[in-house]
Structure 1
């Protein structure tokens, strides 16, 4: 029987597929829908210390090859997600989930992480270094000096399994520089990639979303080649104990297969999950299993990272 099970750090997951932060994760009801689907796990909406309404609407628009959004980190606040995850720890202790979070300042980031550190939460934590849609706030991960300083401070007190959500990088030297920073720390994973920031999509003579005069993050088919490049570049450069979650442009089992082939240990679905609903996990899993069976692969480790080059 072909298995799509996978592992991140010491944690085992029955299926390599999960949601991407920002989709089907705002409320307990949405998270429960993912939990009871074919997905292997879920990640919560990226939480700030206090609840946020986010940017004015319309702030998300489906477009032919994906989506454009400028959400502005709407979320229920850290306590909402942490309390829910602690409940799940009691009721389904055999399962592991991802808590996504970000501070609107370095001080807030430390306040949030120290609260998680002091709690009994024993799952995975994703620190979002790549939110492109908060007006006036730059993406931390594009500033390598700031990233190194922040992670140095974080790992002076944080001892739970931690990974980082990354924006897409577009230059080979930036892959080198980013990996040199991340390899200094005991990160459990990196997640490649968040949306491609500040695209513009027009309808007639008008922008399609309201915030930032229409500038927003691109998701879906538009970003798969960029996502695959980032997954493979970091697979080539990061120490093996830092695993990779692949995110971007997953519509089919073939897309998931390519992310794994490039080195991903888990694969997240965002835009297409928003369009199709949680039934997508069963469909993409079946398509992935069919590809694996056709190629004679029993597990994802049989082909993970084994991308072939042209001589």
Structure 2
């Protein structure tokens, strides 16, 4: 029988599946449910310094091939998630997870949030979210390569615990080259790609209106729509980043085959967002069964035998 065990930053997980930050992770109750699910691990809601209600409703809508959202970073604040992370780490040291951190105010808030974590008792992995596309009037940090360089330089001047970054999708080969050149300067443990494709628009055919309220209907696109873009980003960054920087593949994972393709492109762990929102926590049991069936059919004993082994037509 093949194994779906995944090794990520020195830990071995039963399988590579996680939630994507923003889905089923707002409260400690939801995080407890994730920890008890068939997922290999989980990530918390991206936390800002202060609690935020986020954008007005409706701000998330499931559509035919995925979802559109403009959530606006709703969360219960960094102290809430950090306090829970410290307790959870102490009580369940054998269940490592990822704490996600964002910023609403920009550069200085990113630095202050990371400084607070550095000074805390939490020693686990942190995901620094540089890619929230759904805050009105706020740009995505990771699309500014110079500012991303400055931010990581400032954080690494004092931060000694393990962390990685969550990235937006890139669409140009030159941009893959540029972001990799920035990230390769630092001792990052992972990159997570991709966040949703920003500023899409979906129209209700019955009403001829947009379907979400914030930003005039513009929102991040997730689900089946984004899988080719997600796979390209996983593949491109795997080819360009230092081998020590692992990849979390996120975007368009609906089936075990989708998960297999992310792994084939070089991902070590996988995050599920839209399909988790649509299907609930049972999605992880289904995905593990489907992925296991693919390994059996192909004669693989483990993920390590094919991870990153995507073929080309050269």
TM-score class, shorter: over 0.9
Question: Following the alignment from structure 1 to structure 2, what is the Cα–Cα distance between the partners of residues 167 and 302?
Answer: 29
SS in 2 for 1:130: coil
- The equivalent residue for 2:248 is 245
The CA deviation string for residues 270-289 of structure 1, in whole angstroms up to 9 with x for no partner, is 00000000000000001000
Following TM superposition, by how much is the alpha carbon of 1:11 offset from its aligned partner in structure 2, in angstroms?
Answer: 2.4
Question: Following the alignment from structure 2 to structure 1, what is the Cα–Cα distance between the partners of residues 9 and 36?
Answer: 23
Q: Residue 73 in 1 paired to residue 89 in 2? A: no
The CA deviation string for residues 178-223 of structure 1, in whole angstroms up to 9 with x for no partner, is 1000000000000010000000000031000000000000000000
- The equivalent residue for 1:11 is 11
Question: Following the alignment from structure 1 to structure 2, what is the Cα–Cα distance between the partners of residues 88 and 299?
Answer: 30
The CA deviation string for residues 105-136 of structure 1, in whole angstroms up to 9 with x for no partner, is 21111111011011111211000000000011
- The runs of at least 4 consecutive aligned structure 1 residues that moved more than 4 Å come to none
Following TM superposition, by how much is the alpha carbon of 1:10 offset from its aligned partner in structure 2, in angstroms?
Answer: 1.9
- The equivalent residue for 2:94 is 94
Q: Residue 290 in 1 paired to residue 293 in 2? A: yes
**What do you get for the CA RMSD once the two structures are aligned?**
0.8
Task: Tell me if the contact between 2:250 and 2:271 (Cα under 8 Å) persists in the aligned partners.
Answer: yes
Task: Tell me if the contact between 1:191 and 1:246 (Cα under 8 Å) persists in the aligned partners.
Answer: yes
Task: Tell me if the contact between 2:111 and 2:151 (Cα under 8 Å) persists in the aligned partners.
Answer: no
Ranges in structure 2 where 5+ consecutive residues have no aligned partner: none
- Equivalent pairs counted in the alignment come to 311
- The equivalent residue for 1:162 is 163
Following TM superposition, by how much is the alpha carbon of 1:28 offset from its aligned partner in structure 2, in angstroms?
Answer: 1.1
Q: Residue 106 in 1 paired to residue 98 in 2? A: no
SS in 2 for 1:199: strand
SS in 2 for 1:48: coil
Question: Following the alignment from structure 1 to structure 2, what is the Cα–Cα distance between the partners of residues 11 and 100?
Answer: 18
Question: Following the alignment from structure 2 to structure 1, what is the Cα–Cα distance between the partners of residues 85 and 266?
Answer: 28
TM-score, length-scaled by structure 2: 0.98
TM-score, length-scaled by structure 1: 0.99
After TM superposition, list the pairs within 5 Å mapping 1:219-298 onto structure 2: 219-298=222-301
Question: Following the alignment from structure 1 to structure 2, what is the Cα–Cα distance between the partners of residues 108 and 169?
Answer: 24
- The equivalent residue for 2:51 is 51
Following TM superposition, by how much is the alpha carbon of 1:13 offset from its aligned partner in structure 2, in angstroms?
Answer: 1.6
